[in-house]
Amino acid sequence: MRSIRIIPCLDVDEGRVVKGVNFVDLRDAGDPVELASVYNSQGADEIVFLDITASSDSRETLHEVVRRTAEEIFIPFTVGGGIRSVEDARQILRLGADKVSLNTAAVIRPDLISDVAKEFGNQCVVVAVDSRRSDKTSCGFEVFTHGGREETGLSLLDWVREVVEKGAGEILLTSMDRDGTKDGFDIQMLKLVSEEVSVPLIASGGAGTLKDMVDGALLGNADALLAASIFHFGELTVSEVKKELLKAGLTVRGA
């Protein structure tokens, strides 16, 4: 039986956590290490850090965030943004991260997924997929890269099949249409992907209420539920979400 995980996501820009709507209009949400420590104490199962600018000048800042986080928290955490090579992945893992997340670089060079998986194991490789509704693909959803700025023409279902074949251990699926809106996860998109692949699926984009979290697991078949603003701005706590999932009859990690 699936054991649902709750994963706060911290989008990091120049050493600060930020959150926007539909990938734009960012506002400051605090210090990443302090927030990670709070979520650790609330019972989060994992943390995801995404360097949303991933420019060369922010790389050292992110490395320092990873190093400090590894000293502060005792739950697994994933780091993504700007990882373009096996060596980039090695640096992040050596600093204390448990997994790396690949996105744009994997679309540009899919064999990067295989290379990282062969070096560190499939369990270390999360492929993040940013997708939105589109009439350009047969499945109705298109993959975007570069922080959602560039369309690829790739069908979402074709791409998730390929990343699993290449060695992805998990898929972090973000609905760009729902990101930051608090309108709920895109259940249709989640169901399509969950029926297509066998690796764990992390739902991202749109969580605003306890019901949204339950729906993501029950209706969307997600193995993990990722959220940002509802946690960062104190609207919900990790423990509240876990209690609601238990009430819905779901098995919950650590509960």
Instruction: Kindly list the catalytic residues.
Output: 11, 130
Q: In whole angstroms, what is the distance from residue 122 CA to residue 104 CA?
A: 18
Contact call for residues 241 and 215 (beta carbons, < 8 A): no
Q: In whole angstroms, what is the distance from residue 239 CA to residue 100 CA?
A: 26
Question: What's the one-letter identity of residue 102?
Answer: L
Query: Beta 24-30 vs 16-21: how paired, if at all?
Result: antiparallel
- Rounded to 5°, angle at Cα 12 from 238 and 130: 80
What are the phi and psi torsion angles at 95 (to 5°)?
A: -75, -10
Q: In whole angstroms, what is the distance from residue 42 CA to residue 56 CA?
A: 33
Alpha helices in 109-169 (DSSP H): 111-120, 156-166
